[in-house]
Structure 1
């Protein structure tokens, strides 16, 4: 059963936290804070937001304490991750799922945060949000209106958002196999999703709309991860598959990009289910917000993904 968090309203408090890698630029975070305050939200920084422990934002104990503090905090309505990187999965064994279940809140992030999405959703049923983070997204000088509007539409309105696309975002979407499919959303970074396999936090793939994104991985590694999912019989269970733009996963060359698209096609077309490539979500400036577990319709024939029910209450 889905556990929908309360919607975000003007004047509510959004907390910033770093459960994975350390903040790279304090200026970027400050721009994100200013942007949120201009939208009439209060912003609270977790105690260890700017800590640095090598490739981690503080020790596991500090990062976990921040998460628990924010889920317990009576005024915090949304928890926004600063960035991805690495480290989220290290926190999962000691996460207080009873605390999360009794204090459901909007939790937003992507990339490495896929590990926390999988654990929170699998153990509590909480609708979490694969969406823009403070550092790489909301703090950018050239933040597209599309990215911000998509986030606000999903977390502030207790009604079905409909299409994740704006008319200006339809270019570059390509159909691998036509058709329509309906099911709960499973949006994830491919590497982190594969890392959950065989763990108690592996999400349910059955009849899901699987939305995959990646960055910085050469085509052969994408092939290897998709092959692992195929060998595990998991891609076969999905109702339909949508691939993000993966804008920087091919080092920019047309030849490499063509090779990556060939990998997606060769691995996914034989599944005989709706598949499209190029939706705007994940590691891209145009980063739509996708709620975990909420029913959606993938229309691969016309290149669209529609969210069919509210993600918040």
Structure 2
């Protein structure tokens, strides 16, 4: 995969496949973009981002339609997911067959629950998929720098904010552990043979991480991966009794059991330091 720099202005569509964002957050994100990139970028927040239907940013059909509209629109070079939170896997399964040639030339950018969409698009070879910070990261300490990191990549092709392993040229992907445990073995999961798979999580008990790693490492594609890297596990709750192994020992255990190399730590996580990971093999322009 070769990264190319966008011509100015860079037009970016924002949609929310899971939960909604506020107009205030959208305005703050747009202000940061304007302050740092001037006329070099235009952010277009789809009205669907502010919709509400129970847990979700609008009903499944509304979120599906917004994604399809943004993906197929020729004026946008990228679709940026405004928020994580459960919901991406509920999008209409048929919409992927409706994506046009414009959708195939776009960058799709986000992380967390949006990993479902990144995985499906990567499997179908539609566009370029990138794990990286999203507008709701503004709510984290250091969030402005996280947003600037993403926009620098999207607007200028700036690779300085990428996870260092990516620059080795080996094919890489990055996922949330809990999301990937639910994704593994489904029709949405791509073949990750020969890939370095980076994993991170937030707010999960260590025993839940251990259980999730069982599902992940039982997947045949993962058993043929080049290796597993562990990002940060943040806000891990305390159980009523100690699990008896650290987060890294858990991942090492399941890697050894599956015969997959454990390759050490990755600089990704549910935090403002979360680095950018383009899916596939990165080739410097």
TM-score, normalization: structure 2? 0.84
For the residue of structure 2 that corresponds to 1:113, the secondary structure is: helix
Residue of structure 2 equivalent to 1:18? 16
Residue of structure 1 equivalent to 2:87? 87
Q: Structure 1 residue 36 and structure 2 residue 33: aligned?
A: yes
Q: CA deviation at 1:237?
A: 1.1
Residue of structure 2 equivalent to 1:309? 283
| Cα distance in 2 between the residues matched to 1:272 and 1:81 | 31
Matches within 5 A, 1:1-313: 7-23=5-21, 25-38=22-35, 39-40=37-38, 41-103=41-103, 104-135=105-136, 137-138=137-138, 140=140, 142-143=142-143, 145=145, 147-148=146-147, 150-152=149-151, 154-157=153-156, 164-165=163-164, 183-250=170-237, 259-269=246-256, 271=259, 273-277=261-265, 279-293=266-280, 295=281, 308-310=282-284
Quick check: 1:250–1:256 contact (8 Å CA) kept in 2?
A: no
Consecutive unaligned residues in structure 1, runs of 5 or more = 166-180, 296-307
Consecutive unaligned residues in structure 2, runs of 5 or more = none
| Cα distance in 2 between the residues matched to 1:33 and 1:6 | 23
For the residue of structure 2 that corresponds to 1:76, the secondary structure is: coil
Q: CA deviation at 1:264?
A: 2.0
Quick check: 199-208 or 231-240, which moved more? 231-240
Quick check: 1:128–1:291 contact (8 Å CA) kept in 2?
A: yes
Quick check: 1:31–1:140 contact (8 Å CA) kept in 2?
A: no
Would you tell me which structure has more helix in proportion to its own residues? 2
Q: CA deviation at 1:151?
A: 2.6
For the residue of structure 2 that corresponds to 1:112, the secondary structure is: helix
| Residues 277-307 of structure 1: CA deviation (Å, up to 9, x unaligned) | 2x322311201111112x2xxxxxxxxxxxx
Question: RMSD of aligned C-alpha atoms?
Answer: 3.0
| Cα distance in 1 between the residues matched to 2:161 and 2:57 | 36
Quick check: 1:150–1:164 contact (8 Å CA) kept in 2?
A: no
For the residue of structure 2 that corresponds to 1:262, the secondary structure is: helix
Change (3 A) 1:273 1:260: closer
Change (3 A) 1:22 1:241: same
| Residues 188-226 of structure 1: CA deviation (Å, up to 9, x unaligned) | 112222222332211112110101111111111111111
Quick check: 118-127 or 46-55, which moved more? 118-127
Change (3 A) 1:101 1:292: farther
Number of aligned residue pairs: give it.
Answer: 276
For the residue of structure 1 that corresponds to 2:77, the secondary structure is: strand
| Cα distance in 1 between the residues matched to 2:9 and 2:101 | 24
Quick check: 1:15–1:46 contact (8 Å CA) kept in 2?
A: yes
Q: CA deviation at 1:309?
A: 1.1
